[in-house]
Amino acid sequence: MRLKSLIQFSLFMILSLFALNFALNFWNGHQKSQATDQLQHETKLLAVTTSIKQGIVDIQKQVTRLGQLPQDSVPALSAQEKDRVEAQAARVAGDITRLKSMADEALLKKVTAMQARYMELSASWHLFYNHFGNDSAKAMTEFVLHAEPYSQQLIFQDLPALEAYESDMIEQAQQQLKAVEWWSERAAVIFFVLSLLVVLSFAIRVYRRVVDGMLAFSSGVATVLEGGEARIGLQTKDELGEIAAAFNTISTDLHNSRKQCGVLEQDLVQRNEEVEAQRNESQALLRNILPATVAEEFRSKGAVQPKYLEDVTILFTDFVGFSSSTEKLAAEDLVHMLHDYFSAFDEICARYGMEKLKTIGDSYMCAGGLPERNPSHPVDAVMAAMEIIEAVNERSNRNNWSIRIGIHTGHVIAGMVGTQKFAYDIWGESVNYASRVESSGEPNRIALSAQTHGRIKDFFECEKRVKTHNKVSHKMELYFVKGFTSSLVEDTKQMPPEAFVRRYRGYFQKEPPSFPPLRTVLAGKAEK
């Protein structure tokens, strides 16, 4: 057979095999699509059933929780709460209707029976919520005789039976899909092997006659393109031999150049990684020492310009009983305890937007309203102080420490000093005054200056005191925080209370950054 005829016949066989493979793949894809659609359908059924079960469980939990309350002392539910429960029940009913529309004949009977029982349960819920807080006897009768039995039947019998049936159908669909995939894979392998054998038989014949040298060049070029070193072993005394010798020389030179480039590139990557790691470490350390905006100014300019800040709230704390503890505790235990307290203070200050400035012995100093202006900082500082006292009280079983807190609002100078172990700090009479407010305070109470009291009086109730400071020997007008204004925390079911959030939002045009724990609010109300 002529080479031209051999090549034409080879192409015809390859195209024929390609057409057969295409037809087989099309048929296999159709079978897989049907099996996949069935599996998706069964999975959707199970998902809807699970959603129905979860909805019934959620509503029944609410009913059970309400049923456990003393019926003679709870108010009737509001129309909004009833509408919310009705909406939840309606969503479950909608899911059941959707499940019926998707169910086959065998599943339809189970879903219909379950729907009927759910309608009875939904009606029982409706009666319970209507009588709750109005007619305790009827509400509890409806809960015990109908709502609880119906929900138990649905949750532990009907819905598990549906889920088991749908799981079986999913397993069957999965087995069917596996069977189709198994046959498709093997059919593809058979046709691939057949095609490969046919192609190889013709390729070998062509290779032996014509393309021995060309295949050698193709393999060598592919190796070079992949980055390797190729050697073409043609020893003929013709043009192919000369081209092979030149190719071998070029391949060797190119391979050596690539190796050198690889070494240089690896060294460059390693150096870049080291530089980037050092830069990230220095930036992280800088951000930990300085406020974000100050750190960015220092990083970009190499210095920080001092600023006069008209409105800053300064908070000082000091432990009561610390000096006596230093004589009884080991140094390691004392440092560990201070670390525990100050770590808690750091976390609280971060949540309320307070900037920690420094610690001096057992004294902790932070400020709000810097380096960026923030009109809510007096209120935020008092809430942070409440949580600081709560943190100290939580640790009171480990030691007998208590804490004094003093807060003052005024103007300061802020800046960064030093070239080694530099720190961001504030100066001015307001700082000294805040320290005197703290030292004039009382254990586990929040002392405020008159300036701070004027800024927070719409949020907190305080009692006025007049004290004489020992160092300056003159009377100071102080205020001690008793707790939140009662009208702002009457409803403690929502934290933070809606009335507090509404006033905070109206005064400062933003949401509260955080809120003291419920037990702190309740303790303040009890004290009043």
More reliable by pLDDT, 170 or 348: 348
Contact indicator for 423, 412 with CB cutoff of 8 Å: no
Whole-number pLDDT of residue 93: 84
pLDDT class of 271 with cuts at 50, 70, 90? confident
Average the pLDDT over each of 57-71, 400-414, 477-491 and give the range with the smallest value. Answer: 57-71
Query: What's the CA gap between 431 and 407, in Å, rounded?
Result: 10
Helix 79-102 / helix 3-67 crossing angle, nearest 10 deg:
140
pLDDT class of 31 with cuts at 50, 70, 90? confident
What mean pLDDT is reported for the chain?
A: 80
Q: pLDDT exceeding 90 applies to what percent of the chain?
A: 25
Q: Which of 396, 389, 500 has the alpha carbon at shortest distance from 447?
A: 389
SS3 242: helix
Range(s) for CATH 1.20.120.240 in the chain?
Answer: 27-183
pLDDT class of 22 with cuts at 50, 70, 90? confident
Whole-number pLDDT of residue 13: 75
pLDDT digits (tens, 9 = 90+) for 326-356: 777 788 888 888 999 999 999 999 999 999 9
Whole-number pLDDT of residue 243: 67
pLDDT digits (tens, 9 = 90+) for 446-464: 999 999 999 999 999 999 9
Whole-number pLDDT of residue 270: 82
Query: Is the pLDDT confidence value at 368 over 80?
Result: yes
Whole-number pLDDT of residue 155: 78
Query: Is the pLDDT confidence value at 476 over 60?
Result: yes
pLDDT digits (tens, 9 = 90+) for 176-203: 888 888 887 787 788 778 877 877 776 7
Whole-number pLDDT of residue 472: 58
CATH number of 27-183: 1.20.120.240
Whole-number pLDDT of residue 6: 61
pLDDT digits (tens, 9 = 90+) for 36-55: 888 888 888 888 888 888 88
Query: Is the pLDDT confidence value at 10 over 90?
Result: no
Contact indicator for 486, 525 with CB cutoff of 8 Å: yes
Whole-number pLDDT of residue 317: 95
Q: Hunting for tokens 């955080």 — which residue is that?
A: 514
Which CATH class for the 306-527 domain? Answer: alpha beta
What kind and span of H or E run contains 467? Answer: strand 460-468
Query: What's the CA gap between 459 and 100, in Å, rounded?
Result: 55
Whole-number pLDDT of residue 394: 87
Contact indicator for 224, 254 with CB cutoff of 8 Å: yes
Range(s) for CATH 3.30.70.1230 in the chain?
Answer: 306-527
pLDDT digits (tens, 9 = 90+) for 143-161: 777 778 877 877 788 788 8
Whole-number pLDDT of residue 302: 64
More reliable by pLDDT, 106 or 289: 106
Whole-model pTM? 0.49
Q: Which of 392, 383, 381, 407 has the alpha carbon at shortest distance from 515?
A: 383
Query: Is the pLDDT confidence value at 70 over 70?
Result: no
